[in-house]
């Protein structure tokens, strides 16, 4: 009877992702409740390149240790990111995950919590473009399902898992101010008929951000959407000449490409708490692309 009570007590101490750990492992290694990271921890998905890489570096500069998630941990991008995070004086934890693998989320979150004992900010950035641009009337189910799984379903359920842990952590970390950021796109509201599946996935992710902001507002967890415009990354390299011309013709009022660092600065501002009374807000970083004009 006493043994069962002790077991229940220690299981209550642990967040959901660690409750499945064998109790003897808990006693031997003494995870989360006894060793809490002194520094805040940022989890960034799609961290190996482009916007995700810049966000990870920016948050490291803000004093966060970085759990960097990408499909592969041994890519050149992750190796470079590791060095840049270290130069900022932060710890780097590379994690291999296909975000669309929702059955893998529990293990990943558990590993982060075992390493650091906390997650202070989640930046849901991972996403892909269609492998081939096709007119919406020719869009394949295969392409549609691929983008929905990676750009929408995966991020939504990963955020759900992290949010549950944040609720537990909020009761056990003094001055804990958790934040969730969804990186979407202006394609959430601007149509592209030759990549409809991308637009639809980003529109869905935008709504997911609003729904979670609503649900978690009373729990003290802030949720934001950062909506990039035309950003110069690997994803846009194939259409660079087209957009160079359009930007100079006035498509973007500020007449330049956005850079990954522009997005990273916005996320860093949210992480600092500069917008603590603005949960659910959409921050569009697009050089004025959102201006309606005649």
Residues marked as catalytic: 198
**Cβ distance 240 to 191 under 8 Å?**
no
Tell me if 206 sits within 8 A of 227, measured CB to CB. yes
Token digits for 153? 């379903």
What is the 3 state secondary structure string of the chain? CHHHHHHHHHHHHCCHHHCCCCHHHHHHHCCCCCCCCCCCEEEEECCCCHHHHHHHHHHHHCCCEEEEEECCCCCHHHHHHHHHHHHCCCCEEEEECCCCCHHHHHHHHHHHHHHHCCCCEEEECCCCCCCCCCCHHHCCHHHHHHHHHHHHHHHHHHHHHHHHHHHHHHCCCCCCCCEEEEECCHHHCCCCCCCHHHHHHHHHHHHHHHHHHHHHHHHCCEEEEEEECCECCHHHHHHHHHHHHHHHCCCCCCCCCECHHHHHHHHHHHHHCCCCCCCCCEEEECCCCCCCCC
Q: What is the CB neighbour count within 10 angstroms for residue 171? A: 7
CA distances from 137 to 128, 153, 182 (A): 21, 23, 29
């Amino acid at each position: 009877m006493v043994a069962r009570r002790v077991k229940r007590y220690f299981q209550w101490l642990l967040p959901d992702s660690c409750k499945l750990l064998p109790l003897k492992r808990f006693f031997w290694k003494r995870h989360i409740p006894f060793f809490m990271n002194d520094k805040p921890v940022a989890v960034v998905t799609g961290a190996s390149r482009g916007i995700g890489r810049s966000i990870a570096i920016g948050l490291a500069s803000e004093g966060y240790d970085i759990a960097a998630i990408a499909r592969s941990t041994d890519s050149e991008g992750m190796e470079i990111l590791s060095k840049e995070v270290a130069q900022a004086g932060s710890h780097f934890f590379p994690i291999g995950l296909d975000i669309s693998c929702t059955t893998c989320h529990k293990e990943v979150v558990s590993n982060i919590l075992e390493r650091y004992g906390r997650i202070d900010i989640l930046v849901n950035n991972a996403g892909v473009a269609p492998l081939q641009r096709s007119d919406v009337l020719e869009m394949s189910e295969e392409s549609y399902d691929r983008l929905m799984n990676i750009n929408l379903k995966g991020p939504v359920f990963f955020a759900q898992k992290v949010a549950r842990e944040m609720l537990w952590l909020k009761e056990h970390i003094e001055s804990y101010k958790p934040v969730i950021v969804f990186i979407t796109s202006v394609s959430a509201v601007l149509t592209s008929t030759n990549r409809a599946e991308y637009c639809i996935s980003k529109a869905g992710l935008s709504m997911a951000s609003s729904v979670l902001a609503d649900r978690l507002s009373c729990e003290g967890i802030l949720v934001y959407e950062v909506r990039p415009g035309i950003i110069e990354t690997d994803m846009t390299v194939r259409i660079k000449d087209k957009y160079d011309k359009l930007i100079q013709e006035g498509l973007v009022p500020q007449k330049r490409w956005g850079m990954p660092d522009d997005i990273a600065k916005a996320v860093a501002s949210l992480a600092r708490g500069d917008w603590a009374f603005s949960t659910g807000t959409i921050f569009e970083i697009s050089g004025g692309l959102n201006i309606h004009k005649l």
